[in-house]
Amino acid sequence: MKVKVLKQTANELKVEIEGAGHGVCNLLQKKLLEDATVDQAGYDVPHPLAPNQVIYVRMKGNGKPEKALLEAADKACEENKEFSKALDAALKK
């Protein structure tokens, strides 16, 4: 998976993620929108045949969009670990 910064300002960040599907981008968007310091977050698929998705985040006040995106990714990973443990336990029954 490759990540390319398309736009970066004090309160905005737009990154292109090569090879990420709707699942990854939708989860990141959801986690970003749970952050009270995030003003807007979303993702776009510029072309349906291209494997690239673009994630956009804009912050309220002085929040750093890079930090918000990294924290959203960390939260998504933690949630995935919790799900994996719960699924493993359920399958062992």
Can you give the pLDDT of all 93 residues of the chain as single tens digits? Answer: 899 999 999 999 999 999 888 888 999 999 999 999 999 999 998 888 888 999 999 999 889 999 999 999 999 999 989 999 999 999 987
Total count of domains within the chain: 1
How far apart (Å, rounded) are the C-alpha atoms in residues 52 and 15? Answer: 10
Contacts of 87 (CB under 8 A, 6+ apart): none
Residue recorded with tokens 């993620």: 17
Q: CATH number, domain at 72?
A: 3.30.1360.10
Helix (H) or strand (E) holding 88: helix 65-92
**Residue with token string 């699924």:** 87
Nearest to 76 by CA among 23, 31, 43, 21: 31
User: How far, in Å, CA of 10 to CA of 65, rounded?
Assistant: 8
**Domain extent for 62:** 2-92
